[in-house]
Structure 1
Amino acid sequence: MNMKQISEHVFQCEFELDVTVDIRIPVHIWLIRNGEDVYIIDTGIECFSDDLIKAVLSIGTPKAILLTHGHNDHIKGAAKLIEKFNIPIYAHQKELIYINGEAPYPKKNDLENTGVANVVEPLKEQTLAHLPIQYYLTPGHSPGHVVYYHEKDQILLSGDLFITSHEDLHPPIRKFSDINENIDSGAIIDKIKPTLICSSHGKNLPYDDRLYKKYVWNYRD
């Protein structure tokens, strides 16, 4: 794991996920420090948990887990963190039927075994009311996918809304996504205008007002 501070209050933990023998993809988990409190954005998979626990404790006291969505590479580490820290975990209401194993995600046949069925609480405005963080519903990759925006630091934690390179926005894996809905959700960046866009599986990308226009041109059907 590599942890780096990307703004005054936001830390990024980078892990690698072995997809095949020859292919590894980065997985980003973010820690938001608010005074002595730490909020964990996504959890990765279970084998990341020990290093993530150390990272969290190195900067403060864990208070909650906030999920962008419930796919395995974002939620499977949650059970171990909850056992260790005894903290609440939140996701958008629209994700809960999938997280709880009540229905398979769209375009998937199997139910999720998240390890935290019936534990995750619905994310509400009051959940973050005491923090300089906003969440926005951005469906497409999953029905209840959200992004988190740290207003003071102007950092957008975009989850799987995009895969980012050093220069451009790219869509997530098509086989699991409603790509046109996902691309429409991406318009949030022109509403927010963050300083930096941080995706779960890409490079940290400075915002400019040409990014989304180019993205739509390249990828929308």
Structure 2
Amino acid sequence: MELKQVSQHIYKLTVETTVGIPIIINTWYILEDGNVYIIDTGMASYSNTQIKVALLLGAPQAIFLTHGHSDHINGAKHLSESLNIPIYAHEKELPYINGTLPYPNKHEIDETGVANKVQPLNLSLDIPFSYYLTPGHAPGHVIYYHNQDDVLICGDLFISDSNALHPPINKFTYDMMQNINSGIVVDTIKPKLITTSHGDDIVYSEEIYPIYKFKYEVK
């Protein structure tokens, strides 16, 4: 487990765990004027650590989800209730979080623990970052961009190492080509740094997305 400051206003918690397979899960804390905004919550098994980190860094204000898969939302119930803060996700993701529908690539409905407790993202929110809809891995998958620090928090839009972008696990992605095409947003934003849920941070360059698309798109 490692807490790392990735930019002036952003900290990243990295946890090695097992979700069917050994995996690292990154979650983030965005700081602004003493307030803390939590991006994804990881698993409930280490939610107490998430709470301690959030309180150490400032006053927690809200949880923002990239999407509703278990390794991103599993700790949300405990964090939200313990810290008395709201949870937000894109409106296109709410039917799956609320248990109204199973994800398109699944037969069973996920039990998120926060059904009907997640509010839709909206442009009127007073937050120090913006969001972009990037469907493909999940219908309501979003990424978050911190303009001042020039950091793009990508969730499962990519898996990354320090040199290259890779697609998310196919088994958990309902439309891989849509996901790959959604990735072009990095060339629209051109952030200084890209950080993902399951991988290392990578410095942006104009070559990384074209190489990724050429390597992984299905012709």
- 1:9 maps to what in 2? 9
The residue identity in structure 2 corresponding to 1:187 is I
Q: The residue matched to 2:124 in structure 1 has which SS?
A: helix
Is there any run of 5+ residues in structure 2 with no aligned partner, and where? none
- 2:54 maps to what in 1? 56
User: 2: distance between equivalents of 1:132 and 1:44?
Assistant: 22
Q: After TM superposition, which residue ranges in structure 1, 4 or more long, deviate above 4 angstroms? A: none
1:78 to 76, 79, 82: 76
The C-alpha deviation readout for 1:163-203, integer Å capped at 9, x for no partner, is: 00111110001122211000010000000000010000001
- Given that 1:158 and 1:200 are in contact with CA atoms closer than 8 Å, whether structure 2 keeps it comes out as yes
- 1:162 maps to what in 2? 158
User: 2: distance between equivalents of 1:205 and 1:104?
Assistant: 33
Query: What is the RMSD computed on CA atoms of the aligned residues?
Result: 0.9
1:16 is displaced (CA, Å) by: 1.3
1:17 is displaced (CA, Å) by: 2.0
- Given that 2:150 and 2:192 are in contact with CA atoms closer than 8 Å, whether structure 1 keeps it comes out as yes
Q: How does 1:113-132 map to 2 (within 5 A)?
A: 113-127=111-125, 130-132=126-128
User: 1: distance between equivalents of 2:19 and 2:61?
Assistant: 31
TM-score (norm 1): 0.96
The residue identity in structure 1 corresponding to 2:211 is K
Is there any run of 5+ residues in structure 1 with no aligned partner, and where? none
User: 2: distance between equivalents of 1:175 and 1:181?
Assistant: 15
TM-score (norm 2): 0.97
The C-alpha deviation readout for 1:43-94, integer Å capped at 9, x for no partner, is: 0110110111110011100000000000000001000011111111000000
Q: How many residue pairs align between the two structures?
A: 217
Q: The residue matched to 1:139 in structure 2 has which SS?
A: coil
The residue identity in structure 2 corresponding to 1:84 is S
- 1:209 maps to what in 2? 206
- 2:216 maps to what in 1? 219
2:87 to 89, 96, 100: 89
The C-alpha deviation readout for 1:96-121, integer Å capped at 9, x for no partner, is: 00000011001111101000000000
Q: The residue matched to 1:73 in structure 2 has which SS?
A: helix
- 1:180 maps to what in 2? 177
- 1:195 maps to what in 2? 192
- Given that 2:192 and 2:204 are in contact with CA atoms closer than 8 Å, whether structure 1 keeps it comes out as yes
The residue identity in structure 2 corresponding to 1:191 is T
- 1:153 maps to what in 2? 149
- 2:131 maps to what in 1? 135
